[in-house]
Amino acid sequence: MSPGFIPDNVPTTVITNAASGKYALFAIDPTRATRQSVPVSFNVVEMTSTGTVTLAVVRQGAEQMSQKLSGMGATVNLEETKVTKLNDVDIGFVNSSVNTRHGSLRMLQYMIPGKTKLAVLTYVCPLEDSDHYRPIFESSAMATTGAYDNSGFASGLSSGFNSGFSWKRMWVSGAVAAMLAVIVVLINASRNKPRTAPVHTAATPTAWDCPNCKRRVPMRVTQCRCGTPQPG
């Protein structure tokens, strides 16, 4: 969090989840975040097991992820599932569109094996913003260092990894984190609305609501990050 970070601009559930210790990295696009939703995010889940990534492994992880999100009320379309290369190392790639009653999302996931750990990178953005964010997501994933080819000396380990490794946590955790930031936060905000005191009831307001992007802005700041001035 940067020194100028305003916690009110991100749902507390997202902040708590990001700091839970489940993720090696959790990032958001702050220009798109509001108190109700974080539509653009990136997270990394790591596990202390590794091996060779195969198409069968990638498909298994993608299907488990799809089943989990379907149980949350989303419809997942697995548009592309493949094995590609990162610095001559085989990595998994899944491109999905996720439809919910709150909107449609683009989700890109990468499975990258290291020497001692395996990482799954999950990127999410609104479906209509795919053309803008996809090149950014792809550049980020392809800049990952530490990818390791386990097919040579560690072939025995790789075989056990592919046949007995549990993929559910790896693929599902990242996808669920991204979905929680978009969907469950909105549901919880709606359910909790009657218990939330409106800002104008405070005797001395400490923040104002931007009428344009709905961000929560401290009273000392006279202009929102979107450029909208503080109402008179």
What distances in angstroms separate CA 58 from CA 29, 55, 178, one per listed residue? 27, 5, 19
Q: At residue 89, does pLDDT exceed 90?
A: yes
Verify that 138 and 232 share a domain, yes or no.
no
Verify that 177 and 211 share a domain, yes or no.
no
* Mean pLDDT, residues 129-133: 95
Under 8 Å between Cβ of 83 and 93: yes
Verify that 159 and 217 share a domain, yes or no.
no
Q: What is the mean pLDDT of the chain?
A: 79
- Please give the share of the chain, as a percent, with pLDDT higher than 70: 79
Pairing status of strand 118-126 against strand 41-47: antiparallel
CA distance 149 to 153: 9
CA distance 123 to 84: 17
Verify that 15 and 110 share a domain, yes or no.
yes
Q: At residue 138, does pLDDT exceed 80?
A: yes
Verify that 147 and 82 share a domain, yes or no.
yes
- Whether residue 1 lies inside any domain: the answer is no
Domain tally, the chain: 2
Give 193-218 as a DSSP string.
GGGSPPGGGSSS--EEE-TTT--EEE
Verify that 127 and 216 share a domain, yes or no.
no
Verify that 87 and 124 share a domain, yes or no.
yes
- Whether residue 2 lies inside any domain: the answer is no
**Residue labelled with tokens 């395996």:** 118
Verify that 176 and 210 share a domain, yes or no.
no
Tens of pLDDT, residue by residue over 161-201, are: 444 455 556 678 888 888 777 754 434 434 444 444 444 44
Verify that 210 and 142 share a domain, yes or no.
no
- Whether residue 197 lies inside any domain: the answer is no
Verify that 86 and 29 share a domain, yes or no.
yes
Verify that 182 and 207 share a domain, yes or no.
no
Q: What pLDDT is recorded for position 11?
A: 83
- Please give the share of the chain, as a percent, with pLDDT higher than 90: 31
What distances in angstroms separate CA 81 from CA 90, 108, 140, 143, one per listed residue? 13, 10, 19, 20
- Whether residue 173 lies inside any domain: the answer is yes
Residue numbers of the domain that contains 138: 7-191
Nearest to 207 by CA among 90, 62, 23, 215: 215
Under 8 Å between Cβ of 36 and 188: no
